[in-house]
Structure 1
Amino acid sequence: MYRAADARSGGHIRFSSRAKESLANTVREAQARHDRHIGVEHLGLSLVTMTGGLVPSVLAALGASAPALRTAITDRYRQAS
């Protein structure tokens, strides 16, 4: 849940546990590909691995499967490299 930053937190917005998990997965995706940067492709790959939260229900509503999206992202990523 989004919470506005306040003076007590030093102006920082706290990350939810799912957001932290997603960011950690994003780093792992980049490391697994031996990349020296984190790009949108790594974030996309991280998001399609999520099993909780909104991502699975959004994918289902769109009729998209996580494995198909993972393949499409990695194929696109290979073409761009």
Structure 2
Amino acid sequence: MKSLQEHGFISRLCISSSLISREFIEALLYASKEQSTLTYLEFYNCKVKKDDKAEMQSLYDNGSLPHLAFYEEPRWDVLLKE
């Protein structure tokens, strides 16, 4: 989270099978909205609160986060289907 908030070198994240905290969502929002460094974000089989998911979706909708995806399945299941 510190790297997302203080450094601009993280531009892509794929997060799998995790419980996503509000603190982590805030770091993602900051990196995407304030720093414009996070441009690609995917969640696989993660538990994200509805409000947090909606907030991330609004960044996607307004163009601050060019790529955002939420998948119910684990990452490897999604990749094998492609």
Give TM class, smaller chain.
Answer: under 0.3
The structure number with the bigger radius of gyration is 1
TM-score (structure 2 length as normaliser): 0.22
Q: Specify which structure has the higher proportion of strand.
A: 2
TM-score (structure 1 length as normaliser): 0.22
Q: Specify which structure has the higher proportion of helix.
A: 1
